[in-house]
Amino acid sequence: MKMIHTAIGCGLGAVLVILAGCAPAPEQSAQRVEQAQPEFKSVVPINDVMVSIIDHNAHIIWNAAGDRSPGKRTASKYTPKNDQDWHYLEHAATALAASGNMILIAGPPKDDQEWVKNPEWRKFAQDVTNAGAKAVAAVEHRNLEELGTAGDDLVVTCEACHKKFKPELPAHVAKPSEQPEHYPKNETKAK
């Protein structure tokens, strides 16, 4: 009987199919969703994503945005001046926007496995995504003030998440001269 009902329901047209549907039994559809998930490979530890992707690109954004304290907003050698500079920033902003999702994928360390399941962690990761998306928009608009705001959002997120999940990490935002590894050689040499 059930089979027949289903068959009749399905014959009633697209709208009904969507609304009431020809959806398979719940356990069947859950299985399908599971099968449809891409397989994430647990290759890169979250700590490495932090260092090589998040921290690296955040510094590029922060330094381009410059000193944000009132009365101190002067241009520096990191202030974007031409299309090429903005293009470089586009890479950093895009990497950050993508990185929020990257830290939802656990790497091999055991801590990673626990962190990604934690709803608070997932919320912080979403905040990184949002700040990254804001930075992408700022670059599209060639708007340094907007880029600065995205950078401010990022700082808040980094600090809040570290405080919660790794309180022993320093919260200091390093200057370019302290972290020359974030910049091509010719940009740090003169400093």
Q: Which residues contact 132 (CB under 8 A, 6 or more apart)?
A: 93, 94, 95, 96, 97, 98, 99, 100, 150, 154
| CA–CA dist 16, 152 (Å, integer) | 48
Query: At its nearest, how many Å lie between ligand HEC and the CB of residue 160?
Result: 7
- Our finding on whether 65 is near ligand HEC (CB under 6 A) is no
The one-character DSSP state at 188 is: H
Question: Which lies closer to ligand HEC via its Cβ, residue 141 or residue 164?
Answer: 164
Query: At its nearest, how many Å lie between ligand HEC and the CB of residue 37?
Result: 21
The interface region with ligand HEC, picked from 4-12, 85-93, 142-150, 158-166 by CB under 6 A, is 158-166
Query: At its nearest, how many Å lie between ligand HEC and the CB of residue 189?
Result: 23
Q: State residue 28 phi and psi, 5-degree precision.
A: -70, -45
- Our finding on whether 135 is near ligand HEC (CB under 6 A) is no
Per the structure block, which two tokens stand in for 174? Answer: 């390093």
Query: At its nearest, how many Å lie between ligand HEC and the CB of residue 29?
Result: 31
SS3 185: helix
Nearest residue to 102 via CA among 46, 63, 186: 46
| CA–CA dist 148, 17 (Å, integer) | 49
Q: Which of 55, 85, 152, 153 binds ligand HEC (CB under 6 A)?
A: 55
Binding site for ligand HEC (CB under 6 A): 46-47, 50-51, 54-55, 58, 103, 109, 111, 121, 124-125, 128, 154, 157-158, 161-162, 165-166, 169
